[in-house]
Amino acid sequence: MWRNGPIEDAHASPPSKRRKNLNDGAMFARNTWLTRQAFDALGSSESFRLLELEDVILAREAIWPGCDGTLTDFGWGFLGEIKKHVKRRVDTLMHFEAQLSHDDFLVFVAAPQLGTHDDHFGMPRWPVCVKAAMGRLRGEDEEFLRKRGDVMRRIGPAPDAVASDLETTEKALLKAPWELGAEVLDWFAWNPVLRVPRPSPPAC
């Protein structure tokens, strides 16, 4: 409904006089906040919860949590395509929701993502990634520093808000990353500090 649609075109486009820069931090904040809204909608038994989620996604003048703008500010020039994309996805989901049992519908929704993006916020490996990041920021992962130290130096030091209170940062990353704000999340976006190698498959 949101990702991998026209919003990605806005994200990839340079800002204009009317459109604010939709940088990685703003996308990180928005994606994680909407993930939480999607989980709440799917966990609800309300009949029109998907339409309510559609309204949340398409609200043009609501300030995005953790950001300094709205859908209008960040999506100007793509608003019509974003609206069509979201509505098509919601119509499709509502069609299948009407045909399937609740449990089967949840499997249908989740199936395209099984085995992918499991290290994103809300997914099974996200807590492992956050725990690893906190250990690295405390200087406890010597192997990471040896392998990725040059990259981290090029990225630059962690924002003061992160370095001064790692406990609060960890809690926010686990539960509500958008509360850290887009500027802080821009430092974390694509940062190897949050990446954890996948475990090797067992030998046959």
For the chain, the domains span 6-113, 126-194
Per-residue pLDDT of the chain (204 residues; tens, 9 = 90+): 898 899 999 999 999 999 999 999 999 999 999 999 999 998 888 889 999 999 999 999 999 999 999 999 999 999 999 999 999 999 999 999 999 998 898 888 887 766 677 889 999 899 999 999 999 999 999 999 999 989 999 999 999 999 999 999 999 999 999 999 999 999 999 899 999 987 665 655
Predicted local confidence at residue 117, as pLDDT: 78
- Residue 136 CA to residue 200 CA, distance in Å, equals 21
Predicted local confidence at residue 115, as pLDDT: 65
How far does CA 106 lie from the centroid of its chain?
A: 20
Predicted local confidence at residue 200, as pLDDT: 61
Helix ranges (H only) for the chain are 6-12, 24-42, 49-58, 71-75, 79-99, 102-110, 126-137, 142-155, 160-163, 166-175, 182-188
Residue 123 DSSP one-character state: S
Q: What are phi and psi of 159, to 5 degrees?
A: -55, 150
Predicted local confidence at residue 3, as pLDDT: 85
- Residue 93 CA to residue 112 CA, distance in Å, equals 13
Nearest to 32 by CA among 10, 3, 73, 71: 3
This prediction has a pTM of: 0.91
